[in-house]
Structure 1
Amino acid sequence: MCSPSATLTLWAGSWLAGRSAPDDVLEALHAWAPRHTLAAGDPVAGGRTDLPWSALGNGAGTGVMPLLKMIREALAVPGAELRLVLPVPGDVRGLPTGTAFATDAVEAGEGTVIGVPGAEGTGLIPYRTDDDALQWTVYSVPMPRVAGPDMSLGEAEYAMREAVRDAADALMQLHTTGLGAGDADPRELIEAELADYSRHIYPDCVPLRAKRILDSADHVAAILTVAQREPASAPTSASSASAHESLLRPLWDAIRAARLVAVHTAAPPAR
């Protein structure tokens, strides 16, 4: 699983559809951190929830159950939806523009929005406060009217097959164009990254095709992470940095798009 927000979206959706138990959701989220807290990210959310302001590490409502209760109440309204967002600068799809949530979600690279499209909803962003804790910051947001996956599962699966090949080619190119020389075996580093992803499990109700897409996206992300972190891919000049960006950025874009389609297709609607 790529992020706490993706885990929350899939498992909370499965629980509310009656396909997973609350303990399953707790176990899945605890794979990210053993301790979870809640705090408000804006004055409206603070007044609505009585949560403290979001000074990191000072969250209230310790434990995942208050978080799940909040999600259940937000989704109890007819027509409410639970959506994952994975924004980056230049790609803010699914965000309520001009809000504190949008700004913070871009910085965090993830979040979840809950509510009826076009009405006032709730945004959630997880922040790691230390090695053992995640704080879920709660925002009051206008729920965007359009979520939308812009491609089918079949298109996403094909895109990920292509991305696996392109990512491997990019890694090889970066290791052979003078961008540095590292001693570590890239294959071992990629396997270590994949092992970290595999700690996070999917609900049984996730369709096989969606799971394949998510697994392929993790594979590509592992390759790109190695390409970015290791000395063998460290840019040493402005021109090499530009080459580095042009090789990797389109692949990260493809990963985000495929993950969003897979998660939104796999997350069952609440009953």
Structure 2
Amino acid sequence: MVVWTSAWLHGAAASDDVLDAAQAWAEVHQVCAADAETATRLELPEPGETPAGLALLLAAVRRAGGGSGGLALPVAGDVRGLDGASEFSRHALRRGEAAVFPDARLGLVPERHVEGMLRWTIHQIGELAPAEHVPVGEAEHGMSSAMREAASTLTELDVSRRRPGVRGEIAESVSARPQPSWPEGVPQRCLRVLQRSTELEAILRVAADDAPGGAVSASADRVRSQALNPLFESVRTARRAAVDEMVRVLRQRAEQH
């Protein structure tokens, strides 16, 4: 959503392209404002009213002065990309993801209520916490190191012995993730980093799973968390870096034309 909406705002994609790409995530997208004030400002439905479609979300972001978007992937202890103790931050933290458009002072939080339907809640946001810029090359290198560490962690935790078929679980998790199209001209390196992040996350989810055969004590569970948390962080860092770079390239190309 961040990449496609940014591409549209900069004239690098048509609105129909954005709507078509969104079908990879859900057949139906619903849009509503987080509160009455936001609804009035953006001419969107209030909470409890019949939601709007995705086209009105795009129009609302543009009307509010939206430029390039950014990706927030907050977790407890890491709220980069959020705006402090706000309802938007609390909502984004619960969901673990959000799209932010600082120029428009808007934050978009997706939530899947039923299969095949994704609802976007639009919040007005304040000043965002600064997020460190990570070059995509650095993120890719970090991913490679994390992949090696993840494989080593799986071996140390002896996950394969306790859970036969673990490789199939990982493959199924990767294949189940939506495979969206991308705007023309986005760097292939960014797409490679996103694909590797998906693979790494699938491995880490298996290692972190509390299914039978997992850690047998609180201390063992603590050791496992300490080993995996930095690797999960590398996934979030890589995704943010890839999205930032794609948005930067699209904006730069638009400015040159």
Q: What are the equivalent positions in structure 2 for 1:121-270 lying under 5 Å apart?
A: 121-144=105-128, 146-149=130-133, 151-175=134-158, 181-183=162-164, 185-197=165-177, 199-229=179-209, 231=211, 234-267=214-247, 268-269=250-251
Within 2, Cα distance between the matches of 1:167 and 1:201?
Answer: 28
CA distance in 2, matches of 1:239, 1:176: 17
Please tell me the residue identity of whatever aligns with 1:70.
A
Whole-angstrom CA distance in 2 between matches of 1:228 and 1:201: 30
- Paired residue secondary structure (2:69): strand
Q: Aligned to 2:120, what secondary structure does the other structure show?
A: strand
- Letter of the 1:84 partner, please give it: L
Instruction: Give the SS at the match of 2:122.
Output: strand
* Inter-partner Cα distance in structure 2 for 1:83 and 1:206: 15
Distance in 2 between residues matched to 1:66 and 1:173, nearest whole Å:
50
Q: CA RMSD in A?
A: 2.4
Q: Give the Cα separation in 1 of the matches to 2:176 and 2:13.
A: 23
Decide which of 57, 63, 74 is 1:73's aligned counterpart.
Answer: 63
Rounded Cα–Cα distance in structure 2 between residues aligned with 1:139 and 1:167: 36
Rounded to whole Å, the distance in 1 between the matches of 2:84 and 2:211 is: 37
Q: Structure 1 residue 36: deviation in Å? A: 1.0
Name the residue aligned to 1:4: none
For residues 191 and 88 of structure 1, what CA distance do their matches in structure 2 show? 25
Q: Report the alpha carbon displacement of residue 146 of structure 1 after superposing the two structures with TM.
A: 3.7
* Alignment partners' CA distance in 1, 2:102 and 2:50: 23
Whole-Å Cα distance in 2 between the matches of residues 86 and 59 of structure 1?
28
1:106 matched to 2:93? The reply is yes
Does residue 29 of the first structure (1) align with residue 29 of the second (2)? Answer: no
Q: What SS does structure 2 have at the residue aligned with 1:96?
A: coil
TM (norm. structure 2) is 0.88
How far apart, CA to CA, are the structure 2 residues paired with 1:81 and 1:222? 29
How many residues are matched?
251
Query: What is the distance in 2 between the residues matched to 1:176 and 1:82?
Result: 39
Residue 138 and residue 101 in structure 1: after superposition, are their counterparts in 2 closer, same or farther (change >3 A)?
same
Q: Assess, with a 3 A threshold, how the Cα gap between structure 1 residues 163 and 145 changes in structure 2: closer, same or farther.
A: closer
Q: What is the identity, as a one-letter code, of the residue corresponding to 1:138?
A: I
Shift of the alpha carbon at 1:169?
A: 1.4
Q: Distance in 1 between matches of 2:107 and 2:217?
A: 40
Contiguous gaps of at least 5 residues in structure 2? none
Q: Which runs of 5+ in 1 are unaligned?
A: 1-7
Change (3 A) 1:228 1:146: closer
Cα distance in structure 2, aligned partners of 1:49 and 1:109: 24
Contact 1:174 1:233 in 2 (8 A): no
8 Å Cα contact 2:74/2:80 also seen in 1: yes
How much has 1:51 moved relative to structure 2?
A: 3.6
Which one has the bigger helix percentage? 2
The yes-or-no answer on 1:11 pairing with 2:15 is no
Q: Alpha-carbon deviation of 1:197? A: 2.8
CA distance in 1, matches of 2:159, 2:35: 48
Take 2:177 and 2:47, find their aligned partners in 1: how far apart are those partners?
Answer: 28
Range moving further from structure 2, 245-254 or 233-242: 233-242
Secondary structure of 2:189's partner? helix
* Equivalent position of 2:102 in the other structure: 115
Q: Which residue type is aligned with residue 164 of structure 1?
A: M
Code of the residue aligned with 2:158 in structure 1: it is H
Q: Distance in 1 between matches of 2:216 and 2:183?
A: 43
User: 4+ residue runs of structure 1 moved beyond 6 angstroms?
Assistant: none
- What is the percent sequence identity of the aligned residues? 33
Question: 1: distance between equivalents of 2:76 and 2:239?
Answer: 17
| SS of 2:64 mapped into structure 1 | helix
8 A Cα contact 1:14 1:205, kept in partner:
no
CA distance in 2, matches of 1:169, 1:146: 33
